[in-house]
């Protein structure tokens, strides 16, 4: 099939379309059909345009083009790797920490990331949008729990909603007095920046609560001119942005790639927030690094970029126990306090070059 048979303005959803665009090999088609039958596929025109079809290791392709390796399932992998279900008191809500909830409104995304930790729950046919009754129940749950200070809209991708529906939802949440922050997690500004219209930006702002937007980006190349303009539109409207990235083998698991990503985000006025260690989602082992590799990369990053560019390296503890920082440690405690100061009893601290220094405990 000729490449010309497909409109380059169309999101690619079928392995045959990926082959026709030269983004997958025809010989892999039977395996890719098996993967696509299990996990959703979508590559937006913006992301497809970034992929170099002649580079077998293209970091954008690794994130979005399915691989036969996704059929490999390790025993430690879990369809609910961060334990959402264990903390879901009503449909659509995950209440893991006292002062905040996830509010999962939709199960669709602009793109489907091959490493997605909710891959068993997102995509066409994987779930249903909340019914009006379930939506009302979720709002009632938030209203009844006065400890909830922050509502995090996630999914799927909440910016797949129409601006009109999103504005209604933002207004519903903002009427709850104790909710002060509405945080929106999205990949849309990079994956499909055209969706960030003036109407969408207006929908993000609401009286009665402060909106934050958390952008998911994993490689500096994702921050195209169009993506940067979309983010600038959000920030210029007075909405602060942070980022979250996933440490991915073959995508950003080297110091140069991480440095470029974090610098690009800060240049866009987006504060790097989290670098997630890859979750134990089924069929994603080929994209995970070791924790030791992640710690070493964070150590190197600390020596190369300013604090503005430093995300927290975190692991979502399987079973729903929340996030834990898993970055390198720089400070070792003295063996026992109160002893005469010596190199043994003083704190041991490592600088950004890796050199060791000592610091006295308070007498
Ligand atoms: S955009 Fe987020 S929820 Fe959607 S597939 Fe990617 S990682 Fe998963």
Confidence of residue 3 (pLDDT cuts 50, 70, 90): very low
Q: What confidence tens digit (pLDDT) does each residue in 78-120 have?
A: 999 998 999 999 999 999 999 999 999 999 999 999 999 999 9
Confidence of residue 62 (pLDDT cuts 50, 70, 90): very high
pLDDT at residue number 341:
54
Cα separation, 156 vs 102, whole angstroms? 12
Q: Are 173 and 204 in contact (CB under 8 A)?
A: no
Q: What confidence tens digit (pLDDT) does each residue in 25-42 have?
A: 999 999 999 999 999 999
For the cut 70, the answer to whether the pLDDT of residue 339 exceeds it is no
Rg of the chain on CA atoms, in Å: 22
Cα separation, 104 vs 57, whole angstroms? 33
Pocket of ligand 1 (CB under 6 A): 109, 112-113, 116, 118, 122, 155-157, 187, 216
For the cut 60, the answer to whether the pLDDT of residue 1 exceeds it is no
Q: Are 185 and 158 in contact (CB under 8 A)?
A: yes
Confidence of residue 344 (pLDDT cuts 50, 70, 90): low
Taking the CA of residue 246 as reference, the ligand 1 atom at the shortest distance is 7
pLDDT at residue number 129:
76
Q: In what order do the strands lie in the sheet with 347-350?
A: 331-332, 347-350, 356-359
- Annotated catalytic residues are 96-97, 100, 109, 113, 116, 118, 279, 316, 323
pLDDT at residue number 314:
98
Q: What confidence tens digit (pLDDT) does each residue in 154-170 have?
A: 989 999 999 999 999 99
Of all protein residues, the one whose alpha carbon is nearest to atom 5 of ligand 1 is 112
Torsions phi, psi for 32 (to 5 deg): -65, -35
In the DSSP assignment, the letter for residue 279 is P
Of all protein residues, the one whose alpha carbon is nearest to atom 3 of ligand 1 is 156
Q: What confidence tens digit (pLDDT) does each residue in 283-331 have?
A: 999 999 999 999 999 999 999 999 999 999 999 999 999 999 999 999 9
Rounded distance from Cα 358 to ligand 1 centre (Å): 44
Q: Are 253 and 297 in contact (CB under 8 A)?
A: yes
Which two tokens mark 9? 């303005």
Cα separation, 350 vs 353, whole angstroms? 8
Helix (H), strand (E), coil (C) string for 11-65: CECCHHHHHHCCCCCHHHHHHHHHHHHHCCCCECHHHHHHCCCCCCCCHHHHHHC
Helix axes 163-174, 132-144, angle to 10 degrees: 30
Rounded distance from Cα 80 to ligand 1 centre (Å): 14
Which two tokens mark 86? 């264990």
pLDDT average, residue stretch 264-272:
98
Pick from 39, 110, 116, 107: nearest CA to 81: 116
Residues forming a β-bridge with 151: 101, 182
Is the dihedral angle over the CA atoms 30, 33, 35, 38 positive or is it negative?
A: negative
Mean pLDDT of the chain: 93
Taking the CA of residue 118 as reference, the ligand 1 atom at the shortest distance is 8
CA atoms within 13 A on the CB side of 305: 24
Tokens 């003295």: give the residue.
334
Three-state secondary-structure class, residue 82: coil
Cα separation, 92 vs 166, whole angstroms? 15
Q: Are 84 and 132 in contact (CB under 8 A)?
A: no
330-337 own/partner pairs: CB under 8 Å, 24+ apart: 334/361, 337/361
Q: What is the pTM of this model?
A: 0.94
Rounded distance from Cα 169 to ligand 1 centre (Å): 21
pLDDT at residue number 126:
78
Pure H helices in the chain: 15-20, 29-38, 45-50, 59-64, 132-144, 163-174, 188-191, 198-204, 225-236, 255-267, 291-304
In the chain, what percentage of residues exceed pLDDT 90? Answer: 87
Rounded distance from Cα 319 to ligand 1 centre (Å): 20
């Amino acid at each position: 099939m000729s490449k010309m048979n497909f409109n380059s303005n169309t999101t690619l959803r079928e392995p045959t379309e990926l082959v026709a665009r030269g983004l997958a090999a025809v010989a892999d088609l039977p395996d890719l059909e098996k993967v696509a039958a299990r996990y959703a596929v979508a590559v937006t025109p913006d992301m497809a345009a970034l992929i170099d079809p002649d580079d077998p290791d293209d970091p954008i392709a690794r994130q979005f083009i399915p691989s036969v390796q996704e059929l490999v399932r390790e025993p430690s992998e879990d369809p609910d790797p961060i334990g959402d279900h264990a903390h879901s008191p009503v449909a659509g809500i995950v209440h893991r920490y006292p002062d905040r909830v996830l509010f999962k409104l939709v199960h669709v995304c602009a793109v489907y990331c091959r490493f997605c930790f909710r891959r068993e729950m997102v995509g066409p046919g994987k779930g249903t949008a909340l019914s009006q009754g379930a939506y009302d129940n979720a709002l009632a749950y938030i209203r009844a729990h006065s400890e909830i200070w922050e509502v995090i809209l996630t999914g799927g991708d909440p910016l797949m909603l129409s601006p009109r529906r999103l504005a209604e939802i933002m207004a519903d949440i903002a009427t709850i007095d104790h909710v002060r922050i509405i945080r929106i997690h999205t990949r849309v500004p990079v994956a499909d920046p055209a969706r960030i219209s003036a109407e969408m930006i207006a929908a993000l702002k609401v009286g009665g609560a402060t909106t934050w937007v958390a952008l998911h980006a994993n490689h500096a190349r994702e921050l195209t001119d169009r993506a940067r303009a979309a983010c600038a539109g959000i920030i210029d409207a007075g909405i602060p942005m942070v980022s979250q990235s996933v440490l991915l083998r073959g995508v950003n698991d080297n110091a140069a790639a991480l440095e470029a990503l974090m610098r690009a985000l800060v240049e866009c006025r987006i504060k790097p927030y989290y670098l997630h260690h890859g979750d134990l989602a089924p069929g994603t082992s080929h994209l995970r690094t070791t924790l030791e590799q992640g710690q070493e990369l964070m150590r190197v990053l600390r020596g190369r970029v300013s604090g503005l560019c430093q995300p927290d390296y975190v692991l979502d503890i399987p079973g729903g126990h929340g996030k834990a920082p898993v970055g390198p440690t720089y400070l070792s405690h003295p063996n026992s306090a109160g002893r005469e100061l010596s190199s043994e009893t003083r704190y041991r601290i490592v600088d950004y070059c890796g050199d060791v220094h000592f610091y006295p405990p308070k007498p």
